[in-house]
Chains A and B, each alone.
Chain A
Amino acid sequence: MIYRETGNFVTNYFKDREIFPLKFDKIIVIIGLLFLYLYVPTTSEYTLSAHVVPILAVGLATVGLNILTGLTGQLSLGTAGFMCVGAFSTYNLMLRMPEDFMSLPVALLFSGIFAGIVGVIFGLPAIRIKGFYLLVSTLAAQYFVWWFFNSYAWFLNYETSGVVAIPPKMYDYWGLGNLLGIDMQGYPARYVLALTVCLALTYFAKNLLRSNTGRNFMSVRDRDIAASVMGISVPRTKLLAFFVSCFYCGVAGGLYSFCYIGNVDLMIYEIDRSFTILFMLIIGGLGSISGSWLGAIFVYEFLIVFTWVGDTIFQGAFNTAVVENVSNMVYGVFIIALLIREPGGFAALWATTKQKLRMWPYPH
């Protein structure tokens, strides 16, 4: 079995549009899925809880931001705010809706919709406002949402500490835990939920990107006057982008709170988080879904690796402040260097590498 891209001729338009055109790729995908679903849940709780699950959550948010900023060109710094809407919605739905009707996956779906609606509301100004001026809208969203959930204690079920630990029973949807004898609050189960949601939504995003809607998004990004001249409704396209993007961010927020941290906590969803996700997006490459995942993995792992290096090699010489400062310095330099060298981010680097590999050992 050789990785052979040549001689692979398509015979109809459906085949031309496949995400994994090569048979070899398809096999890798299947193996990958088996690996993800059968092997990974058996790894240590530490691996799952500190590495895999959080990356799934922030990666999804990055994909969401990508749809808005990468594909449609609407700059947004409100990502964490929309995640916040998602997290709080999920919690409140699970808390207050009858158990037979509401279960975690369903709650995630609805919170995504709520987040999407909030996104559309804050996206309305985008019809009139363009360019950097649009930042004001998503920043307003970020701060307003935070203030809103902070001011009305009802959302946190009047928990005085400001943080709510998610009760175990919220994890057991449809009584699966009892049925299959699994601890649904355990990390393997949370991981499987997060994985499934992320895979499904990533697949959806990839399809969207290659479809008419995706092209509409990109045309609004590239040349909106030409787009409208061709019959594309620019306002409608922008609002749809906001809806879909914030849906993803909302679901990501739900995953972050439920599957990763286990708490609903406002501190998670401050403006820092929006920036972190923006970094993941840029480093990964605007407009590339796989790039978003690469960026998320890189940025997230960097921090962990750095702390680990500090702890083991330098024997804990780095306290948290130093870690944060140096990692900020490195992020900063990295972003600048990447933008200079390869504005398309990791995704573009990967494409260039593949191209070089195709040519290897010839230089060009």
Chain B
Amino acid sequence: MTDILKVENVTLTFGGVKAITDISFNVREGEICAVIGPNGAGKSSMLNVINGVYLPQIGTVTYDGVERRTINPRDAAIAGMARTFQNIALFQGMTVLENIMTGRNLFMKSSWLEQGLNIGRARKEEKENRLAVEKVIKFLQIESIRKTPVSKLPYGLQKRVELGRALVAEPKILLLDEPMAGMNLEEKADMSCFILEINKEQGITTVMIEHDMGVVMDISDHVVVLDYGKKIGDGTPSEVMSNQDVIDAYLGVSH
């Protein structure tokens, strides 16, 4: 098993604030890696660095064998990274189906002229990609809401749609930022099943930020713990849970 993602000595500062200080960890191909830690620990920032939304001052991210300090988010997408966002970044003016279809945009090669005329290659592509999208819709059990504008959906379903949008891009690695935030027990169970199935059936490496320890213990293979921008734990779930530093961080022992 190779490391599909290697984060090395990444430091990220905003003005005077050090969001991330000298963090390194590796993610093996095909694993589910959970990034946990108290609020403000730098988890979302870490994800943003991996995907190119933030540029670290120091350090590199090696993805799929290529080492870079910075990457254009668009290139990251083309290279097979797909992600969801903490505060849901769905396109509020479109329906579920349209949102998920946008996830397929890298597969649509026809020109705007062909699309405007609705001929040949454009028609074919629309149909083929629709097929791919419908598979994901079926998988996520959201057929009944496919024509609903996403703005009308409850939070939990929006998160599911966002997962669908990421999934449909056939990524090599999924970056999920708190995919279960704000969900009840049942929704969390569903979401966990989806994430597990995506990982096991399709072999997509998943890096997810998560707060629910139960979920983390249940489904992740590898856990990285952050606190105040530094890494304080890295290993299997059970290793990490018995780490004194981690316990202190969560229980709020003063530093």
- Indicate if A touches B (C-beta under 8 A): yes
Q: Which A residues fall within an 8 A CB radius of B?
A: 12-14, 16-17, 204-205, 207-208, 211-216, 218-219, 221-223, 225-233, 240, 244, 287
Q: Is B77 touching A222 in the complex (CB atoms < 8 A)?
A: no
Q: Which B residues fall within an 8 A CB radius of A?
A: 51, 53, 73-74, 76-78, 82-83, 85, 89-94, 98, 101-106, 108, 110, 112, 115-118, 122-123, 125-127, 130-131, 165, 169
Q: Which of A16, A225, A232 contacts B102 (CB 8 A)?
A: A232
Q: Which of B53, B102, B110, B112 contacts A230 (CB 8 A)?
A: B102
* Chain A residues with CB under 8 A of B116: 204-205, 207-208, 211, 213
In the bound complex, CA of A207 to CA of B122 (Å): 10
In the bound complex, CA of A240 to CA of B106 (Å): 17
A231 to chain B, nearest CB (A): 4
Select from chain A the residue with minimum beta-carbon distance to B119.
A207
* Chain A residues with CB under 8 A of B131: 13
A240 to chain B, nearest CB (A): 6
* Chain B residues with CB under 8 A of A226: 85, 89-91
* Chain B residues with CB under 8 A of A17: 126
* Chain B residues with CB under 8 A of A287: 93
A203 to chain B, nearest CB (A): 8
In the bound complex, CA of A344 to CA of B103 (Å): 26
13 additional A-B pairs beyond A17-B126, A233-B74, beta carbons within 8 Å, are A13-B131, A204-B117, A205-B116, A211-B115, A211-B122, A218-B93, A223-B89, A225-B89, A229-B51, A230-B165, A231-B78, A232-B74, A240-B112
Q: If A219-B102, A222-B93, A231-B169 touch, does A212 touch B108 (CB 8 Å cutoff)?
A: yes
* Chain B residues with CB under 8 A of A211: 112, 115-116, 118, 122, 126
In the bound complex, CA of A227 to CA of B74 (Å): 9
Q: Which of B90, B104, B106, B112 contacts A244 (CB 8 A)?
A: B112
Select from chain A the residue with minimum beta-carbon distance to B123.
A14
Q: Is B91 touching A222 in the complex (CB atoms < 8 A)?
A: yes
Q: If A226-B85, A230-B103 touch, does A215 touch B78 (CB 8 Å cutoff)?
A: no
In the bound complex, CA of A17 to CA of B95 (Å): 14
In the bound complex, CA of A233 to CA of B83 (Å): 17
* Chain A residues with CB under 8 A of B73: 225, 228-229
Q: Is B53 touching A219 in the complex (CB atoms < 8 A)?
A: no
Q: If A212-B110, A232-B102 touch, does A222 touch B94 (CB 8 Å cutoff)?
A: yes
A201 to chain B, nearest CB (A): 9
Select from chain A the residue with minimum beta-carbon distance to B91.
A222
* Chain B residues with CB under 8 A of A14: 123, 127
Q: If A211-B116, A244-B112 touch, does A228 touch B101 (CB 8 Å cutoff)?
A: no
Q: If A215-B98, A216-B105, A229-B76 touch, does A13 touch B115 (CB 8 Å cutoff)?
A: no
Q: If A212-B115, A213-B116 touch, does A231 touch B106 (CB 8 Å cutoff)?
A: yes
Select from chain B the residue with minimum beta-carbon distance to A241.
B112
In the bound complex, CA of A232 to CA of B117 (Å): 21
Q: If A211-B115, A215-B101 touch, does A221 touch B110 (CB 8 Å cutoff)?
A: no
In the bound complex, CA of A223 to CA of B91 (Å): 6
